[in-house]
């Protein structure tokens, strides 16, 4: 396995690091205290700078204006951008649009690509992904109540979704709904594109998450679909193939999420170390002289490095043997890196004392918002059970001495 970084990527990563330091981190004090919509004009200026630097949409297809980087290349980009919560948005590779772009590219019709994919890659519009329901377990997504009933040339959608991230201000949602209730469980649902201005698409509220409702891109909506009628041409991929498509969306996407989390770890780690050497804790003594803080720093360094290598290994597996063969590795990194991130942020916050609880550093924001990493894209426990099952299968009937 060779994880060396090409010269091209070293140049790109250097440019991104500099941009994040100079242009994005200085925006964060405003970002954590103001509405995102208020900040958008400044953020759009930064996006234009990224376009001029020709670093826009690093992971998206070149045919639509992206850079077309490979999985591993974009993993490194995602790590660099993850140092600021604004990174992915400003470079045009933010979730959930990134996943929607992937599936529109793979399964969209030519008309859907022109209408939705192209402006999405260009950053002219935003989208959301509307699968999880209020009353059904997101961990078992075959249990959906939302229906899309065929009526002439249309589907009529009814259901109650929540956690449709970034629906506020989005142009369209990709909605998962039951179209074939008589089919086997995994072939009952379909993905349907629903423009958010369709009558019956009702954004009820941005859900308060850890006390913050957020707004615009940084929000998670509850949506009521009430007799929401869209033409059948809005079906994405074959009818009943919603879960097949959802799997495409999740595999490689997890690499990028995990590398974004490594970027967050790096940022929290930097803040922790800088605070430890700067804070005087007793006359002539810095916090960094305390063994317990030194242990946190050493353990965090080891945890981050181990997590990072696990993600790069999983990316290598996907590229060399395929996503299907790499399922165990993908599940392992999903819960492992989320846990490491949570612990590193927590240690960094602790080292900052009362300051860590304020919005004067980015740590409190990260602490609030990144806790969800252990829940979305498969809760920790779901991945652990799945990995354990896979491992134990190999021990069935095996004699071990
Ligand atoms: C910040 C955030 C953003 C999100 N964005 C989106 C989005 O854009 N679009 C979207 O559709 N959804 C989104 N989600 C929803 C997310 O995918 C679900 O929350 C997730 O799938 C878990 O589903 P649930 O909340 O219904 O929990 P449940 O399925 O009710 O599970 C609750 C808990 O039960 C345990 N559990 C569940 N299954 C098992 C099992 N098999 N074995 C052992 N324990 C188990 C786990 O501890 C789990 O946390 C988002 C969620 C969050 C928090």
Q: Could you report how far apart the first and last alpha carbons of the chain are, in Å?
A: 31
Going from the Cα of 378 to the center of ligand 1, the distance in angstroms, rounded, reads: 6
The H or E element spanning position 281 is strand 280-282
C-alpha 209 to ligand 1 mean position (Å):
14
Ligand 1 atom 22, closest CA:
138
Q: In testing the pocket of ligand 1, which one of 138, 175, 194, 372 has its CB within 8 Å of the most ligand atoms?
A: 138
In the structure, which protein residues have their CB atom closer than 6 angstroms to any atom of ligand 1?
96, 129-132, 137-139, 163-165, 209, 220, 372, 375-376, 379, 381-382, 385
Peptide bond into 244 cis (omega under 30): no
Q: Are residues 224 and 350 in the same domain?
A: no
Last residue of a domain, one of 238, 270, 298: 238
Q: Are residues 262 and 360 in the same domain?
A: yes
Quick one: average pLDDT of 310-338? 93
Nearest C-alpha to atom 47 of ligand 1 is from which residue?
A: 381
Q: What is the torsional sign of CA 119, 120, 124, 126? A: positive
Which atom of ligand 1 has the smallest separation from the CA of 136?
26
Whether 100 maps to a domain, the answer reads no
**Domain tally, the chain:** 3
Sign of the C-alpha dihedral, residues 78, 81, 87, 91? negative
In this structure, which residue's CA is closest to atom 41 in ligand 1?
A: 382
Residue 114 lies in a domain: no
What are the tens digits of pLDDT across the range 12-29? 999 999 999 999 999 999
CATH number at residue 262: 1.20.140.10
Threshold 0.75, pTM exceeds? yes
**Nearest alpha carbon, ligand 1 atom 6:** 163
pLDDT of 254 over the 90 cut: no
Q: State the DSSP string of 199-256.
A: TTEEEEEEPPBTTB-EETTEEEEEEEEEEEEEEGGGEESSTT-HHHHHHHHHHHHHHH
Residue nearest atom 43 of ligand 1, based on CA coordinates: 381
Same domain, residue pair 388 and 265: yes
In a domain, 375, yes or no: yes
Residue-wise pLDDT tens digits, 173-232? 999 999 999 999 999 999 999 999 999 999 999 999 999 999 999 999 999 999 999 999
Decide if pLDDT at 44 tops 70.
yes
| 373 lies in the same domain as 300 | yes
> How many angstroms is it from 67 CA to the middle of ligand 1?
32
Cα 63 to ligand 1 centre (Å)? 34
pLDDT category, 249, cuts 50, 70, 90?
Answer: low
pLDDT for 152: 98
Confidence check: pLDDT of 250 > 70: no
Return the CATH number at 29: 1.10.540.10
Residue 202: partners with Cβ closer than 8 Å, 6 or more residues away? 223, 224, 225, 226
Confidence band for 252, pLDDT divided at 50, 70 and 90 = confident
Residue 106: C-alpha distances to residues 35, 91, 102, 244 (Å): 35, 22, 6, 12
Least confident piece of the model among 242-246, 247-251, 383-387: 247-251
**Would you say residue 116 lies in a domain?**
no
Residues in Cβ contact with 386 at an 8 Å cutoff, skipping those fewer than 6 apart: 327, 331
Cα–Cα distance list, 209 to 328, 357, 358 (Å) = 30, 17, 17
Same domain, 176 and 252: no
Q: What is the pLDDT of residue 253?
A: 82
Number of C-beta neighbours around residue 399 at 10 A: 5
**What pLDDT is attached to residue 169?**
98
Residues 81 and 185 in one domain: no
| CATH code where residue 171 lies | 2.40.110.10
- Looking at the structure, tell me whether residues 194 and 261 fall in a common domain: no
Nearest-CA residue for ligand 1 atom 1 is: 372
Both 15 and 84 in one domain: the answer is yes
Same domain, 250 and 234: no
- Which three-class secondary structure state does DSSP give residue 46? helix
Beta strands (DSSP E) in 89-185 are 127-130, 147-151, 154-165, 172-178
Strand partners, 189: 178
Q: Is residue 117 part of a domain?
A: no
* Domain match, 269 and 210 both: no
What was the pLDDT predicted at 75? Answer: 95
Co-location of 226 and 312 in the same domain: no
Q: Which domain holds residue 81?
A: 7-94
Q: Which atom of ligand 1 is nearest to the CA of 176?
A: 11
What atom of ligand 1 comes closest to residue 131's alpha carbon?
11
Work out the mean pLDDT of the chain and round it to a whole number.
96
Q: Report strand pairing: 189-195 vs 235-236.
A: antiparallel
pLDDT tens readout for residues 339-386: 999 999 999 999 999 999 999 999 999 999 999 999 999 999 999 999
Residue 118 lies in a domain: no
Taking the centre of ligand 1 as the mean of its atom positions, its distance from the CA of residue 372, in whole angstroms, is 9
Are 323 and 252 contacting, i.e. CB atoms less than 8 angstroms apart?
A: yes
- CB contact at 8 A, 53 and 15: yes
pLDDT tens digits along 300-319: 999 999 999 999 999 999 99
Q: At which of 207, 238, 269 does a domain end?
A: 238
pLDDT of residue 324: 86
Q: Is residue 115 situated within a structural domain?
A: no
2 found inside a domain? no
Domain boundary among 40, 75, 94: 94
CA 139 to ligand 1 centroid distance, Å: 5
Shared domain for 220 and 255, answered yes or no, is: no
Q: Which atom of ligand 1 is the closest one to the Cα of 379?
A: 49
């Amino acid at each position: 396995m060779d994880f060396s970084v090409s010269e091209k990527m070293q140049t790109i990563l250097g440019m991104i690091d500099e941009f994040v330091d100079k242009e994005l981190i200085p925006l964060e004090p405003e970002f954590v205290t103001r509405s995102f919509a208020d900040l958008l004009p400044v953020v759009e200026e930064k996006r234009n700078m990224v376009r001029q630097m020709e670093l826009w949409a690093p992971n998206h297809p070149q045919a639509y204006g992206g850079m077309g980087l490979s999985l591993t290349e974009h993993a490194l980009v995602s790590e660099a951008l993850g140092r600021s919560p604004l990174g992915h948005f400003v470079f045009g590779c933010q979730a959930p649009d990134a996943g929607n772009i992937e599936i529109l590219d793979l399964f969209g019709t030519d008309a859907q690509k022109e209408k939705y994919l192209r402006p999405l890659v260009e950053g002219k519009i935003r989208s959301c992904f509307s699968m999880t329901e209020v009353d059904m377990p997101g961990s078992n997504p075959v249990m959906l109540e939302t229906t899309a009933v065929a009526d002439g040339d249309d589907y009529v959608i009814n259901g109650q979704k929540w956690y449709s991230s970034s629906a506020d201000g989005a142009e369209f949602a990709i909605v998962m709904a039951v179209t074939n209730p008589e089919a086997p469980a995994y072939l009952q649902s379909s993905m349907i594109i629903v423009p958010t201005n369709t009558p019956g698409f009702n954004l009820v509220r941005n859900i308060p998450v850890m006390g913050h409702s957020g707004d615009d891109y940084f929000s998670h909506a509850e949506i009521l679909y009430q007799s929401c009628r869209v033409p059948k041409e809005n079906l994405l991929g074959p009818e009943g193939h919603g879960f097949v498509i959802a799997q495409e969306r999740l595999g490689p996407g997890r690499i990028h999420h995990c590398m974004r989390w490594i970027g967050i770890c790096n940022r929290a780690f930097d803040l922790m170390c800088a605070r430890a050497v700067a804070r005087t804790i007793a006359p002539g003594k810095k916090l960094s002289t305390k063994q317990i803080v030194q242990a946190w720093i050493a353990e965090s360094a080891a945890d981050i490095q181990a997590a990072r290598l696990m993600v790069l290994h999983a990316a290598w597996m996907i590229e060399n043997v395929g996503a299907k063969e790499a399922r165990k590795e993908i599940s392992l990194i999903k819960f492992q890196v989320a846990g490491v991130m949570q612990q590193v942020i927590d240690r960094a916050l602790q080292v900052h004392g009362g300051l860590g609880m304020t919005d004067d550093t980015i740590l409190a924001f990260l602490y609030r918002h990144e806790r969800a990493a252990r829940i979305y894209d498969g809760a920790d426990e779901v991945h652990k059970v799945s990995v354990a099952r896979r491992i134990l299968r190999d021990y069935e009937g095996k004699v071990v001495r």
